[in-house]
Amino acid sequence: MKRDFLTIPDLKVEELRKLLQRAAALKAGRASTPQILQGKTVALVFQKPSMRTRVAFEVAVLELGGAVIYLGQEDIQLGRREAVKDVARVLSRYVHGIVLRTFGHANAEEFAKHATVPVINGLSDLVHPCQALADVMTMQEAFGRLQGLKAAYIGDGNNVLHSLIEACARLGVSVAVAAPKGYAPNAAIWKAAKWEASRHGASLELAADPKQVVRGADVIYTDVWVSMGQEPERAKRLRAFKGYQLNAALLKLAKPGCKVLHCLPAHRGEEITDDVMEGPPSLVVDQAENRLHAHKALLEFLIGSSQQSAHSSQQKHT
């Protein structure tokens, strides 16, 4: 039976932990990456352009021995020139896995429903689970553990934050969020993550004051205030997020040795200052690199293992 990865909860907690362990092992042994996708092809279907998601997945597939086909919005016009279910069913006959980067999360759900090969959510407006894998991997690298850490998130309650709290809640990382009124995270996702956090010895906190949430933080995370597609709201958002900048003064309020994360691209001088981005606490480039290793582990788990299972099943019936 095929597995999809549309949100963090699609993985059991133990699977999530093992995936992070595997990503770390693949990073350490990059020179001898197993060719588990040899003879396999993965399609990247991107309604939204991306540097990190595209390159990390392409390199991940290639290093695992597979081939990649990139299809941008101009190639498919998903849901406009052709129905989502038609694209999903036809591509499933050609390739062994699909990475979808889309707008509405309903597109990802419909795509996965009709695809007969594993579908990975490379980003939707609701969640960004692949980014969260790299985020928690980077935290684990920096501190040697996840359980008991505190992460502070400053800014918009967006798709990046949604997946971050879903992952942290399951791994015992407490998250304190500072967001202005009207920009809090999705209520249903917050409620579910809060329940998960309580089960795993962590907590979630939502406040308006960035100074309040960074106290005692091991990690401070921020993201752009104006994401792709939100350009018409730019002036309004800049007013709303005034006072939410991650700068040296805010960083000083956190725990000594606190690290800085940003999923990129960054608008330097807006949500984060250049000196913080370039300073010793910044793990931003490591975080970006870890997208590659997390993607490799995910591809191996979803496509490599499914192909191995299918092969074993065929052998039993011969």
Residue span of the structural domain in which 70 resides: 8-125+291-316
How much is the average pLDDT of 76-101? Answer: 92
HSE of 174 in the Cβ direction (CA atoms, 13 Å)?
A: 16
How much is the average pLDDT of 207-214? Answer: 97
What is the predicted pLDDT for the residue at 231? 86
> For 159-206, what is each residue's pLDDT tens digit?
999 999 999 999 999 999 999 999 999 999 999 999 999 999 999 999
Does one domain contain both 22 and 149?
no
Separation of first and last alpha carbons in the chain: 20
Does one domain contain both 196 and 237?
yes
- Under the banding of pLDDT at 50, 70 and 90, the label for residue 306 is low
Is 20's pLDDT higher than 60? yes
User: Is 3 part of a structural domain of the chain?
Assistant: no
Does one domain contain both 239 and 154?
yes
| Among the listed residues 125, 240, 271, 261, the one whose alpha carbon sits nearest the alpha carbon of residue 186 | 125
| Among the listed residues 239, 131, 262, 102, the one whose alpha carbon sits nearest the alpha carbon of residue 182 | 239
> For 36-69, what is each residue's pLDDT tens digit?
999 999 999 999 889 999 999 999 999 999 999 9
Does one domain contain both 184 and 240?
yes
> For 138-156, what is each residue's pLDDT tens digit?
999 999 999 999 999 999 9
What is the predicted pLDDT for the residue at 80? 76
The alpha helices in 97-233, defined as continuous H runs, are: 105-114, 129-143, 159-171, 187-199, 210-214
- Token duo for residue 152: 């502070």
Is 318's pLDDT higher than 70? no
Residues forming the active site: 101, 128, 131, 223, 263, 291
What rounded mean pLDDT belongs to the chain? 94
| Among the listed residues 171, 243, 191, the one whose alpha carbon sits nearest the alpha carbon of residue 214 | 243
H helix or E strand, kind and range, residue 316: helix 305-316
Give me the CATH number covering residue 174: 3.40.50.1370
- Under the banding of pLDDT at 50, 70 and 90, the label for residue 228 is confident
Does one domain contain both 21 and 39?
yes
How many domains is the chain built from? 2
